[in-house]
Amino acid sequence: MYSFCISLLFSGDFWYSSSTSSWDTIRIPQDLAAMGFDNQPIAQALTISTINQPIKELEYKSITMIIKLINGDELIAQTVELSYTILSI
């Protein structure tokens, strides 16, 4: 048993699956807790929990900002918070 904590953040569930296959000595979830970040289908195949991001809302807000820039409008710096859900497997 390991006496330390391993924390890793991968930008995609698929990258996680391909990069960890050579870690023969680390057992998931006993030694390493894994969680996806973008709800790709590979998360279900690997039975890992993942975060479901609101892609449609993210697209809408991004395109709205781009249109404002194209129209010459000034963008005011702001924080935009989008809701998310955690999908536990």
pLDDT tens for each residue of the chain, 89 residues long: 444 555 555 555 454 455 555 556 777 677 777 777 778 887 777 788 888 888 899 999 999 999 999 999 998 888 888 888 888 87
Enter the pTM of the model.
Answer: 0.53
What pLDDT is attached to residue 3?
Answer: 47
Domain residue extents for the chain: 13-87
Buried b (16+ CB within 10 A) or exposed e, 48-81: bebeeeeeeeeeeeeeeeeeeeeeeeeeeeeeee
